[in-house]
Structure 1
Amino acid sequence: MPLEKSPMRAPAGRIAELADQCVQCGLCLPVCPTYALDRNEAESPRGRIAIASALARGLADPTAELRDHLDHCLGCLNCEKVCPAHVQYSQLLVETRAMLGPSARRPRLLLALLSRPAWLRTLRRLGDRVALPRWKDWLARRLPALSPWRAALRSLPATTPTAHFQSSRPGGNRPRLALFPGCVASVDDAEAQQAAITLLQAVGFQVSVLPAFCCGAMDLHGGATAPAEQAAENVRRAWTASGATELLSVTPGCLGTLRRALPGVDVLDPVQLLATYAESLCFRPLAQRVALHLPCTQINVARTDADVLQLLRRVPMLEVTPLPRPPHCCGAAGSHLLEFPARAAQLRDATLQHVAALEPRELLSSNIGCRLHLAAGSDRHGRTWPTRHPLTLLAEQLIPAH
């Protein structure tokens, strides 16, 4: 698979330079979810690097088939974690998709709706008034099997949470924190965001909440460069106005994009801070078994999987079992569950088989997209596991200090 190396102009030259770092050892193949799904070299990190290099050097045309192989990538970054040559695969994928531009299959209207919290919240309230969650499956069955709208309807939660963030108390000498609510998460993960504030206050932090808007992750990973950069500028303005010293997101899927927008700023998963002060937190016993789904971004971007486990295991009598990895990925991957619903369902069903084997009382996952995707799959298979963010469980069991 070696390709001729020659000087190139940016951005194609940068893509070729990144691709040249790959030594084609194949250690990425066993940890790649899409290679496990297809057993096709073009569906592996090594194969995608070769495709990106060929496109950048003008040795291949950007056909729909080649584009699909690139767009099937989940961005899980299992490959980066095991790569002995330290290939910057995430950067290569983002720049290649930017060079190609957004895919024709990209559901622009649906993604525009999901990235605007005010629109989403209004439509969700209207849906609640007409009892949409009760007949969403009937409506979904009348849409084409591979329609992004069908996948979105299937993932619609039964109720719309209401966000009521409490003002944070002064935090003494602790750094002042700002919480980034995001877009979908600001509507459907408001409870987890309030849980993060409650837990952080319990260990003495002051937390302010930024305005709710999209960080641009779906645009960035979809090759939509202009809106992704506009979102990054919105992040920079909101961060500057906050006056905080560290930025938090309860959604691991947002962390990489926020860090890209704010180089030099500490952008953290709250569980990282909470684990540092874990000895200050006391929890009520909870005698039940839970399955813990660790999102790819929590393991490979936030790298807080051990922190989540440490905190959950402080709850007396709680039996916590993480789902096996790798190469398992639930298939949500941002907008992947909308653009490739059949592939996403295959990956999700494999994940849910592992959940079923554990016979848990509930399923925990830190990423809202993963959680909605998994909940939709469990509903379709007639299973009744409640799903929630680990922080929500921890806040519910917290014994307040007196």
Structure 2
Amino acid sequence: MMGMPLEKSPTLGSARRIVELADQCVQCGLCLPVCPTYQMDRNEAESPRGRIAIAAALARGEVEPTAALRLHLDHCLGCLDCEKVCPAHVQYDELLIEARALLGPSTRRPRWLLKLLQRPAWMRALRRLGHVLAMDRWKGWLARRLPRDSTTRAALLTLPTGAVAAPMVAKTGEARAGKPTLALFPGCVASVEDADAQAAAVVLLRAAGFQVSVLPAFCCGAMDLHGGEAPAAEKAAQRVREAWQSSGASGLVSVTPGCLGSLRRALPGIHVADPFELLAARADTLRFRPLARRLAVHLACTQVNVARSESAMLALLRQVPLLDVQPLPRPPYCCGAAGSHMLEFPARAAELRDDTLQQVALLEPQVLLSSNIGCRLHLATGAEGRWPMQHPLTLLAQQLDTGHPATNTPDNQPHERSHPEPLRSPA
């Protein structure tokens, strides 16, 4: 089976682009020490340098596009730590996207599940059904009777089934003079599982002096883009462009750093920002109530290497009086979630997650924060309730001082589902 050719053969245009990108690599090997999959397997084919060589050989027609070669490309987490240390500034993310598009989607790709995740209305319906059936009580029992590398097992263990916050209603407003206007992109999974963080972002950005409108909830195409589904990714990008043009905003924000790369790709020349970047620039306008808690902060790969706003996020958290903020060390470099990777390769993803959770335990936190919803769901599966988990924006909005006396009571301690009330259109 591993020697069978894949469905799609290289095309001339995409092959030429891959060769151009691969030729930037000087084969220095500085990427190897920071690559999670190379550290896991100690196999050159599981390193950025090895994958660049594989992609170039496929593009030149020097090797057959077999499932075995494709597997090395699919194992890549897309964390982009390699780009950060590369002295030749190889555009590795672009090369990986082009190589996967050239070969087409993997046969391991759980298309039915990804289609569900990309449709917020379907996800909400599934969550309601799971809540009615009390799936949280028995899904673990069922999942653990499935093979460890089963996509269904991973989905049962990872995806929540309880009650969910109300969605933010898409709306636009007339711009008021003197205040920058932002459009918030809710996304797909995040619009359901991070509704509290999105509401928190709006509260914080408005407190900092921004006007904020909310776009409709749909998928930005990130999972398709990184899974070789080029036509579906372009269709999603076109929808992003249409929603953006209708918004009338001057900037776009997303609370999910995993969406930023796809949004920027769809909207070249538009300022697509992480809220932390904007809030940190106006940090002097924000005041926070004290909170005597010790936090571990998981720095998602996309937060560090795409948004590049981890310093801004940590600075804002440290503005909360009494808060003990402890970022996780790097390495470990990636928790293993990596978009759909945790569903396609659950055993490998669990190994990386366990390394990350060991570092969390050493910090002895009372709360674990992560800005990426995929990472948070993945980590929660392995943590099994050891720590409450939140988006950092949710905690910051909780502690925002709006003029009331500062308190530090049990009612304003962070917990997993504590969140600002999601915004709704006026009646």
Q: Is TM more than 0.5 here?
A: yes
Matched, 1:265 2:267: no
- The residue type paired with residue 90 of structure 2 is V
1:181–1:210 CA contact under 8 A, matched in 2: yes
What secondary structure is seen at the aligned counterpart in 2 of 1:62?
coil
Work out the CA distance in 1 between the residues paired with 2:136 and 2:247: 37
User: How much does 1:158 deviate?
Assistant: 5.8
The Cα shift of 1:139 comes to: 1.8
CA contact (8 A) 1:78 1:326 kept: no
Q: Secondary structure of 2:13's partner?
A: coil
Query: Which of 173, 177, 181 is residue 176 of structure 1 equivalent to?
Result: 181
Distance in 2 separating the partners of 1:257 and 1:60: 30
Distance 1:395 1:171 in 2: 23
Give the whole-Å Cα distance in 2 for the aligned partners of 1:171 and 1:140.
Answer: 52
Instruction: Name the amino acid aligned to 2:397.
Output: A
Cα offsets for 1:70-123 (capped at 9, x unmatched): 000000000001100010000000000000000011101000000100001111
Quick check: 1:192 aligned with 2:197?
Answer: yes
Report the Cα offset of residue 197 of structure 1: 0.3
Native 8 Å contact 1:171 1:201 kept in 2: no
1:47 equivalent among 50, 56, 59: 50
Is 1:96–2:99 an aligned residue pair?
A: yes
1:2-401 matches, cutoff 5 A: 9-157=12-160, 159-165=162-168, 172-379=177-384, 383-401=385-403
Distance 1:231 1:91, change over 3 A: same
- Offset at 1:175? 1.5
Q: TM-score by structure 2 length?
A: 0.89
Q: Could you tell me which amino acid in structure 2 is paired with residue 375 of structure 1?
A: A
Separation in 1, partners of 2:23, 2:395: 45
Cα deviations across residues 161-185 of structure 1 (Å, max 9, x unaligned)?
2135487986541211000000000
Report the residue type matching 1:370 in the other structure.
C
Provide the rounded CA distance (Å) in 1 between the counterparts of 2:138 and 2:189.
Answer: 22
Structure 2: stretches of 5+ with no match in the other structure = 1-10, 405-427
Shift of 1:312: 0.1
Residue type at the aligned position of 2:343? L
Farther-moved stretch of structure 1 (157-166 vs 339-348): 157-166
Letter in 2 for 1:268: A
**Deviations, residues 181-205 of structure 1 (Å, cap 9, x unaligned):** 0000000000000000000111111
Distance 2:178 2:73 in 1: 47
Q: How many correspondences in the alignment?
A: 392
- Aligned-pair distance for 1:326? 3.6
AA partner of residue 69 (structure 2): L
Structure 1 position 148, deviation (Å): 1.1
Please give the alpha-carbon distance, in whole angstroms, between the structure 1 residues aligned to 2:253 and 2:349. Answer: 28
Calculate the aligned-residue CA RMSD, in Å: 1.5
Which region of structure 1 is more displaced relative to structure 2, 190-199 or 56-65? 56-65
- The whole-number CA distance in structure 2 between the counterparts of 1:108 and 1:27 is 35
Give the letter for the 1:341 counterpart.
P
- Any idea what the Cα deviations from partners look like across 1:33-76, whole Å, max 9, x if unmatched? 11111111111000000000000000111111111100000000
Check whether the contact 2:332–2:356 (CA below 8 A) recurs between aligned residues.
Answer: no
* 2:345 counterpart letter in structure 1: F
Q: Distance in 1 between matches of 2:326 and 2:176?
A: 34
Distance 1:362 1:61 in 2: 49
SS at match of 1:364: strand
